[in-house]
Structure 1
Amino acid sequence: MKILGPVQLEVDRIPIRLTPLTIRLLLRLVAAEGEAVPVRQLRRDVWGLADEPRHLDQRNRNEVQKRVLELRRALAPGRDAAGTSILRTEQQVTVQGPETAYRLVLRPEELDSSRFTAIVGDALLAPPATAAHRLAEALSLVRGRPLAEVSGEGFAVSFVRRLTGLQESARRELVRAQMDLGRPELALPIAELIAYEHPDDAEAARVLDALRAQLRARHGDELLRHRVPLPGQRTDVVLLRGDLFDQEDCNLVVGFSDTFDTETAEDLVISRESVQSQLVDRLFAGRRRLLDDKLRAGLRKTKAVGTETARSKPLGRRVRYPVGTTVAVPVDGRRVFAIAYSQLGNDLVARSSDRDLRLGLENLWASVAVHGLFKPVAIPLIGSGLARVTDLDRGQLVALIVDSFIDACARLPALTPELRVVIRPQDLARTDLTPVEQRFQDLVPGSRAAD
């Protein structure tokens, strides 16, 4: 039987329907917590009848007996003896003589409030991991206010107060256990509910503030995190404020032009402020030729689409490769994926379009699937620098990268456990992340209907 919320009675997993008066009788007996309740008390509490002289109240006693019989049949259909053992008849000695009383006898597993009480009692003495599991189990039994149909009655006040107090203790202890386990994200919803229900509770407000601060500290420079909403995927997309080359546990993505130039002397071919220049300095210790050698090795199997003359292109490399070409460059146990998403004109100005960028990204994900070692992948906001995709703003560029990645996840399982889009702090104010949030909202089933 369930009384932690609207009453539900099941016998052999079959729901039993009772009349409202019989429900009140049942709940009055439950509230007695195993004690016998005299017929006179039942008449006062269930029927609201005043005491009458014993020789005048036979009719009222008959009404009680009628409801008791109905309840016994409901508790043990077709088994009269069983019903009698669950709802027992006793005789109590009073100054006015013997009086009939009724006692409800249920095993702990037959009543949700008994199970709840036992589980919480054990959990309050357990270490954090066990306590968290058991308290969550106990609270899952709660569907509403205990004895909801009679919670305002005098006979139920003490019983309801004890159960609601125990529920409150279980919630607060569950918050504490989850915090001890380093799981503030699981503690937060419970702490928010406690603070909402107790707006004047200073301790509840303090715990909630501490949890929120802990979660903010955990996120650090993380701006956004979503799980790729595809069946069987356990891949996260993360937007991060920071430096691409600080992502030391990741494969990196670096954008190039179709000539894969790396020369930064006097800023004539490649700017010293570019990601390519930082790649040379920070991962290759300034040894540009080492990077060039690795790029050449990776391009050997790629057919060039043309070669410029020294006259037409006096500076930089002259061999051109197809836009979209991707080279996986091995560096210290990980990969730098060099993708050509722009064309470097003979005037040394890089030009690109959203079509070029999409092509480059498609080839990038295919290469990551083969060479990525199932490591996280960090990518800068490519298309926003000197080789700017002029028809997209920064927010749209982020959305394009994310869209392309999600499409690739559908085609290429086990692509990477995490994609990090790294946005420089100085670019963040000019980057609207609304399009990315909207993408994930649109991809979640039922989100439109919910809106």
Structure 2
Amino acid sequence: MPPLTTKLLLRLVAAEGEAVPVTRLYRELWGLPHDGQVTRAHRTQVQQRISELRKAVDAGEDSASPLVRTEQMLSGPYPESAYRLVPDRDRLDSTEFIELVNEATCSDPATAVVLLNRALGLWKGRPLQEVAESDFAEPLVRRLMGTLDTARGELVRAQADLGHPELALPVAEERAAGRPDDSAAAAAVRSLRRRVRARRGDEILRREFTGISTRLVVKAGDLFDQHDANMAVGFCDTFDTATENDVIISRDSVQGQLLDRVYGGDRGLLDRALRKGLHRVEPSGTEHVRDKPRGKRIRYPIGSVVPLSLPGRRVFAFVHCRQGNDLVTRSDRDDLRLSLECLWADVAVHGLRKPTAIPLVGSGLARVELELEQLMILIIDTFLASSRSERHTPELRIVVRPDDLHAIRISEVARFVEALDHHGQAPRDLRGRLLDSATFTAKGHAPS
């Protein structure tokens, strides 16, 4: 619409359903005539703009219920035409905004969050901006700004009541920024920040991916303390479990800790669980005793996955490297990617819709020739790609040993994650730079 017609619309909006006489419309929008008299020619100009406005706002609508209506008012010795804009929430954002907020204040927290997010989604900046400096706009602008503050305050309370301080915090910060002298608003921000810090504990990176209903968490800690989550544990292609004297498998490796801390050091119990799961997997070959005198000799393909049942959760043992007859494990980026893709596919079937905790596979005692942050990004990238095709776990939790944190450029991981959209998709050039084609070799006794 032309600027003057837009101002006419906003003038009628500012009247909040009251009729405005044609002479007042002319004086407020066109200005006072030189002689102070609004003539027939002036009223005709207003009527022409009203016709233009009706064509714009009532196009395709029911002619029996026009948005702009004509009435007659007695403002002097003779009746005068006046125009009224019918408050319709389906056609006026300001009306819908106010009604949604009012409805939310009387609703339960979950419903309030839905209504308030819808209301705030209508907010496009300062209201009635084209006429905001006019006296007639001031009452509605003040009302809308007050309703905005109410909406933000109610959304903060509702999200906090639902146990989501991390969602309440940015709204509280925005509200406090608009109320610099409000000590209560500042105190609410401080309280929410304390709650978020307490909840996250050892978390060093978190990102919600709303488009695929999952989240990424990177935390410093002990993989075996994640009792609410499934665990993913990398194995070599022979599924060796012997830790005696750290010859075949190191006792300090993730597999060694799995044996000691989950299976109580009972190697036979772990081996039986692995054999049961491997019945569905076709071996890739068998070594002769003279070629491989120590350790297991049946080999399984890269990407083989065995879900081990624990009370209420699973341990996913998956092959991500090959163990040579010299007991040195070897892998490369393609093998690791394939193994992770197979892992996530199995988690989708057997993961019980629980969070999945995973260490930095390919690091630790294996000492692969790839930067730790590249390993982490590869884990994240494959997980998100899998989640886009099939929803399987609400959270990927990468658990890093505290002693390893200094060796990880976590800012590089954060940069990668920050560039992702809500579906976890990254710009191709960024993924290419961080996931280079370097081949890496594990030169320890056991992969991690």
- Which TM-score band applies after superposition, normalised by the shorter structure? 0.7 to 0.9
Alignment equivalent of 2:252, drawn from 258, 273, 284: 273
Question: For residues 6 and 67 of structure 2, what CA distance do their matches in structure 1 show?
Answer: 18
Identify the match of residue 90 of structure 1 among 59, 69, 73. 73
Hey, what's the Cα distance between the residues in 2 that align with 1:208 and 1:185?
Answer: 11
Cα distance per residue 1:251-275 (max 9 Å; x no partner): 3232334444333344444333222
Task: Tell me, in whole angstroms, the C-alpha distance in 1 between the residues paired with 2:310 and 2:247.
Answer: 27
Aligned length in residues: 416
Over residues 408-427 of structure 1, what are the superposed CA-to-partner deviations in whole Å (9 max), with x where a residue is unaligned?
Answer: 557x7455554332211221
Choose from 128, 131, 150 the match for 1:169: 150
In structure 1, what is the Cα distance between the partners aligned to 2:159 and 2:207? 22
Moved more, 437-446 or 75-84: 75-84
- Alignment of 1:282 with 2:261, yes or no, is yes
Contact 2:206–2:215 (CA<8 Å) still a contact in 1? yes
Structure 2 matches for 1:141-290, cutoff 5 A? 141-226=122-207, 233-290=212-269
- After superposition, the C-alpha distances for 1:347-371 in whole angstroms (9 at most, x for unaligned) are 6x53323255445445545654565
Shift of 1:306: 0.8
Comparing 369-378 with 176-185, greater Cα deviation is found at 369-378
What secondary structure is seen at the aligned counterpart in 1 of 2:39?
Answer: helix
CA–CA distance in structure 1, aligned partners of residues 7 and 315 of structure 2:
72
Determine helix, strand or coil for the equivalent of 1:381. Answer: coil
Conserved? CA contact 2:69–2:86, under 8 Å? no
TM-score (ref. length: structure 1): 0.74
User: Which protein shows a greater Rg?
Assistant: 1
Tell me the distance in 2 between the aligned counterparts of 1:263 and 1:434. Answer: 38
Q: Which residue of 2 aligns with 1:45?
A: 28
Name 2:295's counterpart in structure 1. 317
2:243, 2:309 → 1: CA distance? 22
- Bigger relative contact order, structure 1 or 2 (CA pairs below 8 A, ≥6 apart): 2
Contact 2:324-2:330 at 8 Å conserved across structures: no
Secondary structure of the residue that 1:108 maps to in structure 2? coil
Quick one: distance in 2 between partners of 1:375 and 1:23?
53
Q: 1:306 maps to which residue?
A: 287
Unaligned runs of 5+ in 2: 431-448
1:8 maps to which residue? none
Deviations 1:137-190 (A, max 9, x none): 444444343332222123333343233223332332232233223333443443
**Relative to 1, partners in 2 of residues 1:383 and 1:197: Cα closer, same or farther, differing over 3 Å?**
same
What is aligned with 1:9? none
Task: Specify the alignment match of 2:363 in structure 1.
Answer: 384
Q: Which segment drifts farther, 172-181 or 322-331?
A: 322-331
| Equivalence map 1:7-86=2 (5 Å) | 17=1, 20=4, 24=7, 27-28=10-11, 30-33=13-16, 44-49=27-32, 57=37, 60-74=38-52, 86=69
Q: Displacement of 1:126 after TM fit?
A: 3.8
Question: Percent of aligned pairs with the same residue?
Answer: 45
Q: 1:380 to 1:164 in 2, by over 3 A?
A: closer
Matched, 1:423 2:406: no
Q: For the residues of structure 2 that align with 1:201 and 1:267, how far apart are their CA atoms?
A: 63
2:446 alignment partner in structure 1? none
AA partner of residue 29 (structure 2)? V
* Contact 1:72–1:87, Cα closer than 8 Å, also in 2: no
* CA–CA separation in structure 2 for the residues paired with 1:85 and 1:372: 58
2:332 corresponds to which residue? 354
349-358 or 380-389: bigger deviation: 349-358
Change (3 A) 1:36 1:100: farther
Match of 1:6 in 2: none
CA 1:373/1:309 → structure 2, altered by over 3 Å: closer, same or farther?
Answer: farther
Residue 237 of structure 1 contacts residue 418 of structure 1 at CA under 8 Å; is this kept in 2? yes
